[in-house]
Homo-oligomer: A and B are copies of this chain.
Amino acid sequence: MDLSIGVIGTGEIGTDHVRRLTGHVAGARVQAVFDVDAERAAKLAAEVGAMAHTSAYDLIDDPAVEAVLIAAPSSVHAELTVACIASRKPVLCEKPLAPTAPECLRVMEAELATGTRLVQVGFMRRYDEGYGHLRRAIDGGSVGDVLLAHCVHRNAQSPPLFKSEMLLTDSVIHEIDSARWLLSEELVAATVFVPRKSPLAAGDLSDPQLVLLEATSGAMVTVEIFVNCQYGYDVRCELVGSMGAASLELPSMGAVTTRGIRGQAVPSDWKGRFAQAYRDELQHWVHGSRGGHLSGPSSFDGYAATAVAEACVRSLTTGKRAAVDLSSRPGLYDGP
């Protein structure tokens, strides 16, 4: 039987997830949706043959809902996830797990109390073929010990009302999770540098920013975050090891050559770039939910990412290096 899923939040990301679950994921069915914009929720519900609930908690409590996908605003991620845990329903919570580390810990503790994994956090990059290639390069031993990683994360334009710390909490958090996952170690400190501001970044937005992350082993990760690069969505990473290097570059399958330029297309946004990763993320979560063996990014991963992002924000504010104070990882979250 298909997994009956309730989706909370039908904004851009939530809507994409609903359509993906309906049209491209095996073994899944969207049973119910909820959004504070009831009209938007009703319209999407009609499109995919689901029902629209009038509250998120009704959806979570609905006995016909077996699992929950949370794509609501970050501020309510933690409380909704805790509610799902209370109902013993597997949940996929979009990143971040919560905006603050204490909230993340609260989720993690609720999950720990059940003695079983119920939460997956939406770090979809772990399902991207390119990041998989980096991980295999490390696991296969060809790069040796990782000493450095260089990450670039560029968006064409930032949304309206974007604030300087959001470059860290909304975008760099992906790099934080990727770095933790690739290096298989924790990040212990962060320093943020503010270069010359792009004249095309609105108001007093500090854009771009440079982030230096330090890992337990001493390995360092540089992150350039630039959310008004104009030209497109560009996510890259190079791992530098003692024996070799491995790179994730602009995905390419060919070119078009006209008027003196051999041109490769750059994705316009993250939706195109990570379309396949999103699909595989959902499929993996559906399989895990049905089989009762959730894996994928955990509550602890969500907590650690938020804790490092908070250190980044502190560094941006103070202009100094900020240490990350991380509680140790419970055994429930061991394993790959």
Q: Which residues of B contact A152 (CB under 8 A)?
A: 150, 238
**A220, B242: Cβ atoms closer than 8 Å:** no
Copies of the protein in its oligomer: 4
User: Residue on B with the closest CB to A236?
Assistant: B254
Decide yes or no whether A292 CB sits under 8 A from chain B.
no
A25, A143, A245, A254, most chain B CB atoms within 10 A:
A254
**B218, A142: Cβ atoms closer than 8 Å:** no
Q: How far is the CB of A113 from chain B (nearest CB, A)?
A: 32
Decide yes or no whether A270 CB sits under 8 A from chain B.
no
Q: Given A256-B246, A257-B246, A263-B263, verify A220-B230 contact (CB < 8 Å).
A: no
Q: Which residues of B contact A268 (CB under 8 A)?
A: 260
Q: How far is the CB of A284 from chain B (nearest CB, A)?
A: 10
Interface residues on A, range: 35 or more
Chain A contact residues, CB within 8 Å of chain B = 2, 21-28, 129-130, 133-134, 137, 142-145, 147-148, 150, 152, 193, 195-200, 208, 210, 212, 214-215, 217-220, 222, 224, 226, 228-232, 234, 238, 240, 242-266, 268, 276, 283, 287
A-B contact pairs, 21 of them (CB 8 A): A143-B258, A147-B195, A147-B198, A147-B208, A148-B196, A148-B210, A200-B243, A210-B212, A210-B220, A228-B242, A229-B244, A229-B245, A230-B242, A231-B260, A232-B257, A244-B256, A245-B256, A245-B258, A247-B256, A260-B266, A262-B263
